[in-house]
Amino acid sequence: MPETWWRGAAIYQVYPRSFADGNGDGIGDLAGLRSRLPYLADLGVNAVWLTPWYPSPMADGGYDVADYRDIEPTFGTLEEAEKFIAEAHELGIKVIIDVVPNHSSDRSAWFQEALAAGPGSAARQRFWFRDEPGDWKSIFGGPAWTQVPDGQWYLHLFAPEQPDFNWTNPEVHQEFHDVLRFWFDRGVDGIRIDSAAVLVKDFDGGDPDGYTDQPEVHDVYRGWRRLAEEYDDRIFIGEVWFPDQERFARYLRPDEMHTAFNFDFLACPWDAAALRHSIQETMATHIPLGAPPTWVLSNHDVARVVTRYGREDTSWDHGARRDGVPADLELGYRRSRAAALLAMALPGGVYIYQGEELGLPEVDDIPGELRQDPMWPRSGYTIPGRDGCRVPLPWSGGEPPFGFGTGEPWLPQPEAWNKLTAEAQAQDLGSMLTLYKTALAIRRDRLGDGTLTWLDSTPEVLAFTRESGLTCLVNLGSEPVRLPPHETVLLASGPLEGEELPTDTAVWLA
C-alpha cells in the first residue's frame, strides 16, 4: 500500500460493543474483532477505525474515557490490542483509533484528584471549575455545569460524567502529546479526533459561540501535526461539523489535520441538486489545500442510511433528530445501494459504518428500559438517541444472537435480521454485501484519490467520469434515463432496463 494510503482509502468503522462478541457476555470485544479480521480483509477495506476502546464507565458509549493508555476490560487487554494491530497489518489493514481531547470521564485519575484537591488547586486547573455556574447548555440536553460537594461547578459540554479539559493548561497539552506517542509507538496508523472543534472555550461568548471553532484550537492541531511527522505516515482525521466550508477548510491546512469527515455529504437529502452542490463544494474546498475529500453515509451517531433514505425527509440534522419517523425500507434499501456506488466512485476516501454493507435498517422499537444512550434520560425520555444504529451485528443463523456471540446481546436484535446476516448474504449475488465487495474490488483498481469530470446530464442525474475512464451515473429522477455510449457495465446498484437506468439506481460504466 502506498505511503499516502489514506488519500483514497476505504475505511471501515467498528463500534466495538456491537461488532462481535468473543467471550459470550453479550458485548463486543477484541477477541470477536480479531476473529472477524478475515471478513474485513475479504470485504476489501484498506483500514479499520475503532471508536473508543479505553477503560470507561460507558456513560456515553466509551466517549467518557477513564484512562487513555489502556483497554476497557470488557473489550480485552492492552496485549490483545497490540495483537489486533499486528494481525490487521498482516492482512494489509491499517488501524485508526479515536482520541477524545475535549473531555475525560469523571472517574479518571485526574478528575478524581481534582475533586479531592479542592478549590484553587493545580489539579482543578486541568478542568473548568467555577464558583458560579454559567448558562451554557449541554449538547446532550440540560445544563452544561454540575455542582460538586464543596460547592464549585464544573463544565461538561456533553454528559455530567464527561468533564471538559482546560486547554489553556500546558499540562493538558503535554498529556495528549504523550497519549499520541503511546499509540503511535504501538503501530496505530491514524487518530480520529472526536469533537475536534470544541476544545477551546471563551466564556464571554454565547452558547455555542463560546466553545465552537475558537481560533486557538488550530494551535492544538498544529502541535499534533508536528508530532505525527516524527513518525512514518501517521494521520489525523477530524470530526468537524460546519455548514460553512471556509471554516471547515481551516482544519485541513497543510500544518493541521490530514482529512476530516464530510458531514455535509452525509446530511444531504436524496436529491440530485443538493448532492451535486455538496460534491462540488467539497471538491472546491479540498483541491486548493491538497487534502483528499472523505465521503460518509452514516456512522454510530446517525440514523442508518436505509431508514433515512426511506423517509419523506431524507436529510439529516443532529439538532432535529427524527427518531421513529416511518420509513419505506424497500425504497431506502434501493437508494442506499445507489448511494454506496456514488460515494465509492467519488475522489478521496470513503467510510463504511459497520452493518452498512449488510443493508441494516435503524432499529426504532428498542424498549425504553433497554436503551443506554444518555440522550434518552437527559432529554426527559423524549429523544430515543443513537442506540438504534448501534444494535449488534448479525453474522449467521436464523435467530438472535445471529452469531454475534453466545450470550444475549447488550441491545436486542430484530428477528427479521435473519435475512440480513453476513452468512445469508455471502452467497447471494444480489445482496448488499456482494455489492459492497464487488464495488470495493473495482474501486481498488480504478478509483480512490484524484479528481472528477462532470458530464452533461438532466438535472435529476449525477454523471461524472474518473481518470481511469470509469463513468458513474446516478438517477435520482422519477423516470428511467438513457445510458451514455459505453463498452461495458462494470456494476449496477439494481437491474438495468435494457439501455436505460431506472430511478434510484446507480451504474459504473467503462
Give the catalytic positions in this structure. 194, 230
How many alpha carbons fall within 13 Å on the CB side of residue 93? 26
Contact between 134 and 146 (Cβ < 8 Å)? no
- Alpha-carbon distance of 36 to 11, in angstroms, equals 15
Single-letter amino acid code for the residue at 471:
T
Reference 301, options 410, 144, 195; nearest CA is 195
Note every long-range contact of 400-407, with CB atoms under 8 Å and residues 24 or more positions apart, other chains counting.
401/21, 401/26, 404/20, 404/21, 404/28, 404/32, 405/20, 405/21, 405/22, 405/23, 405/24, 405/25, 405/26, 405/28, 405/32, 406/21, 406/24, 407/21, 407/24, 407/25, 407/26
- Is there a contact between 490 and 508 (Cβ–Cβ < 8 Å)? yes
Beta pairing, strands 190-193 & 235-238: parallel
Q: Where are the beta strands (DSSP E) in 213-284?
A: 235-238, 259-260
3-state secondary structure of 105: coil
Beta strand pairing status for 294-296 and 481-482?
Answer: unpaired
Q: Which residues contact 99 (CB under 8 A, 6 or more apart)?
A: 68, 176, 179, 180, 183, 191, 192, 193, 194
Instruction: Retrieve residue 211's grid coordinates.
Output: 466553545
CA distance 499 to 478: 17
Residue type, 159: A
Closest to 332 measured CA to CA, from 355, 347, 312: 312
Q: How far apart are CA 390 and CA 106, in angstroms?
A: 24
What is the arrangement of strands in the sheet containing 505-509, beginning at the earlier edge strand? 452-454, 461-466, 471-475, 505-509, 489-492
Nearest to 239, CA basis, from 28, 39, 49, 490: 49
Amino acid type, 130: R
